[in-house]
Amino acid sequence: MRWSLVAWIIGVAQHVAKGQRLRVSNACTEEPIWLAHMASTNVGPDRQNVMLKPGESYVFNTKNITGARYWPKARCNAQGNSCELGESGGPEEICNSTIGCAPPVDTKFEASFEQNGVDWVDVSLVDGWTLPFRFEMSNRCNAGDGHRGIHRVVDCSHLSFEACPRMEQVGKASTGPVNLQVVHPNTGNVVGCYAPCSKLTFSNWGNTAARYAPPDPAVQEYCCPTPPESPEACRKGPVGQTQFVQAVHRDCPGVYGYSYDDGMGLILCPDDTQYKMTFYCPKGLGSGIGSVPPLVGNTQSTTQAAPGECQLPVWSVRADLKEVNANTSFKIVRHTNDGWEEYVSLKTPTGRFLAAEPDGFVKADIKTISFWELFTMDTHEDGRVSFRSFHRKYLSVEPYGSLRSLSWTVGDREKFRVVPMENGNVALRCFDGKYLTTNTACESEVAQVLGTCYEKDTAYSPLDMPGESQTLEDEASSCQARCRATTGCTHFTYFVVGRFCHLTNGLALRMLGSLGAISGPSDCKGSDFVMKDAWVGHSGLMPQGSLGAGGSFVLMFAAISCSVLAARQRCRRVSQFSACGLLRTRACDEALGHCNLADQEASSALISSESS
């Protein structure tokens, strides 16, 4: 069954009406997790200790919930209690009767929903962390201080216990460095990471370093209670230079590592925002997963998403058409608010505004105006105009059509000819004669491969050919257009989660089972393969941000896939297979070419058997 976009929007509206706007998923295949939560001082409307098997999700009720906290637990009993990780107490929680509750350093999500038209949410690591995670918001949100926009994806999937400092200097609070790793008293396993303040104030599990309260002079520079510590004094103090905070900034960019950090802190979102929190396996120090991205099996959901259902529509914008129509229509909105008089916004026929994110990605899916929807419009001597974003970079059209906000200067690709339309709106003609065009795509990888020559859950390795690096694209077709416009590119790989686009040449290996990846040739013309399956079970490698983070693992996986696909005899001559990715000798290339050929032959046989 294929759901239309209208059906998806109705489904989302029903979830919002019921107050079901928080989806939590378990992306760890090593083990299940349990979800604990509280609202104010009691359990919320959902049951306590929801168990999620690998690949499952649960949608929480968020209707008028205040003071809510959600956190993961792992290695629990059948009732979801007495857990090795995350058993820090709370309503209806049962801790170990011998050792008591764990120190509350949990990875957590906190929120107050539907408060005078807004949600207040928080994903800071001020207390510490347990599981790595990825947090996503469907709307454009702002930092709670009101002065900064923030990214809609908070990627903390690379947090690991190995990165937790074992020799942290804490000044006068200790005569020597302290170990911030949380060690379970019975199993001896590392199950969390203290923040410096937590290590010095949480006495759970016999923590002998906890001899203070946050206002004590010996620790107030690390805990920053106000009063006596002011925000300015806290930022100038030693806590910002600790190894812990540096690890947070490196592996969880943009998130608070201590009170008054320059991260996002409290987040202010519209009260119809959809939230998704994805937890990953604990990494490092006996967790059994190390720094390798988790492998996942068949995805499941307690909410039973329908096959082919669009998980999130994407309203994209690109230079696409050479004729004007409704999709090339924009309204230039001039602002009269104090301080905004110099800015304009570009509104599409669907009522959405163009937004230029700080990383240069441009979309047209925001119905409210914040900083990222503001542009200054300048008219040049040739009559064309340019648009400079709030972060002072110009809108620019790539040769393959994607719209970016990356250029500090104005050239031909940054100028647009304003063409009046009958409805009072305008069309914007680009340097190549094409018009900026808004389209609606589906973030679902299933929807993006139907009727194309693309392959789902397939990638090419190495991900990036020489001279090319990862870019962000709104959909797979934009990634293919980039490949088509790039000399030497034969195939592209596009990761739906994160919207990462990679280009490869003819030396790359085709990798089956790469969950969430879409790949295909530079042009579908002449291709004899068109994707027709409405839904294909997921299995294989799920990327964390970009598969490029695990290059050696990718090469190893490619070797295994190749041998499984009947290339064992041809590849056996390559004794140091992974070295071929680093030392591109002629012998390596020839050997890999044989392997790639066998892979293609075997894949063709698989496709034929599926279609018959």
Task: Say if residue 320's pLDDT is above 70.
Answer: yes
DSSP assignment string, 289-349: -TTSPPEE-S---TT-PPTT--SSEEEEEEEEESS--GGG-BEEEEP-STT-TT-EEEE-T
CB 385 within 8 A of CB 418: yes
- Residue ranges, comma separated, of all CATH 2.60.110.10 domains in the chain are 5-288
Domain 444-611: which CATH number of 3.50.4.10, 3.30.360.10, 3.10.20.310, 2.60.40.180: 3.50.4.10
Total length of the chain:
612
- Reported as a single tens digit per residue, the pLDDT across 153-165 is 888 988 999 999 9
Least confident of 192-206, 307-321, 380-394, 425-439: 307-321
Higher pLDDT pick, 260 / 347: 347
Contact 448, 496 (CB under 8 A): yes
For 313-440, the fitting CATH number among 2.170.190.11, 2.80.10.50, 2.60.40.10, 3.30.70.1450 is 2.80.10.50
- Beta strand pairing call for 275-279 and 133-137: antiparallel
Residues 170-182: pLDDT tens digits?
999 998 999 999 9
- Give the integer Cα–Cα distance in Å for 173 and 171: 6
Which segment of 134-138, 317-321, 528-532, 580-584 scores lowest on mean pLDDT? Answer: 580-584
pLDDT at 267: 87
- Between β-strands 275-279 and 417-420, what pairing exists: parallel, antiparallel or unpaired? unpaired
Q: Of 332, 587, 363, which Cα lies nearest the Cα of 475?
A: 363
Q: How far apart are the first and last CA of the chain?
A: 20
C-beta of residue 578 within 8 angstroms of C-beta of residue 597: no
What's the average model confidence in pLDDT over 334-356? 84
Helix (H) or strand (E) holding 502: strand 500-504
Categorize the per-residue pLDDT at 75 as very low, low, confident or very high, splitting at 50, 70 and 90.
very high
> pLDDT band for position 602 (50/70/90)?
very low
Q: How far, CA to CA in Å, does 282 sit from each of 37, 118, 224?
A: 20, 33, 29
User: What pLDDT does residue 284 have?
Assistant: 64
Query: Rounded to the nearest 5°, which phi and psi values hold at 210?
Result: -85, 85
For 290, half-sphere exposure in the C-beta direction (CA atoms, 13 angstrom radius) is 4
Phi, psi of 128, rounded to the nearest 5 degrees = 135, -160
* 514-564 per-position pLDDT tens digit: 777 889 999 887 654 444 332 233 333 333 333 333 333 433 444 444 333
531 vs 522: CA distance, rounded Å: 16
Task: Give the C-alpha separation, 502 to 496, whole Å.
Answer: 12
How many helical (H) and strand (E) elements, i.e. helices and strands, does the chain have? 10, 36
CA-based nearest residue to 72, from 46, 52, 91, 92: 52
pLDDT at 106 (0 to 100): 96
How far is Cα 415 from Cα 430, in angstroms, rounded to an integer? 7
Fold designation for 5-288: Thaumatin (2.60.110)
DSSP 8-class letter at 239: G
Residue 584: pLDDT over 60: no
Count the neighbouring beta carbons within 10 Å of the beta carbon of residue 441: 19
Q: What is the token pair recorded at 422?
A: 């009958």
Sign (positive/negative) of CA torsion 186, 188, 191, 193?
positive
Answer yes or no: are the C-beta atoms of 131 and 107 closer than 8 Å: yes
Q: How far apart are CA 289 and CA 305, in angstroms?
A: 28
- For 397-422, the pLDDT digits (tens) are 998 888 988 889 999 999 999 999 98
Contact 409, 378 (CB under 8 A): no
The answer to whether residues 562 and 598 touch, using CB atoms and an 8 Å cutoff, is yes
Rounded CA separation 539/542 (Å)? 8
CATH 2.80.10.50 positions along the chain are 313-440
Mean pLDDT of the 90-107 span: 92
pLDDT of 119 above 60: yes
Residues of the chain with CATH 3.50.4.10: 444-611
Residue bearing tokens 């989302």:
12
What pLDDT score does 191 carry? 95
Of the candidates 315, 563, 581, the residue with the CA atom closest to the CA atom of residue 439: 315
* Mean pLDDT across 579-587: 36
Q: CB–CB of 58/23 below 8 Å?
A: yes
CA separation, residue 407 to residues 346, 387, 392, 472, 602 (Å)? 19, 11, 9, 15, 45
Percent of the chain with pLDDT over 70: 73
pLDDT at 294 over 80: no
* Dihedral angle, C-alpha 143, 144, 146, 150, nearest 10 °: 10
Query: Which residue has better confidence, 140 or 258?
Result: 258
Q: Is 77 helix (H, G, I), strand (E, B) or coil?
A: coil
Whether omega for the bond prior to residue 45 falls within 30 degrees of 0, making it cis, is no
Q: Quote the mean pLDDT of the chain.
A: 77
Which of 12-26, 101-115, 197-211 is the least confident region? 12-26
Task: Report pLDDT for 282.
Answer: 87
* Cis peptide, bond prior to residue 228, ω within 30 of zero: yes
pTM equals 0.52
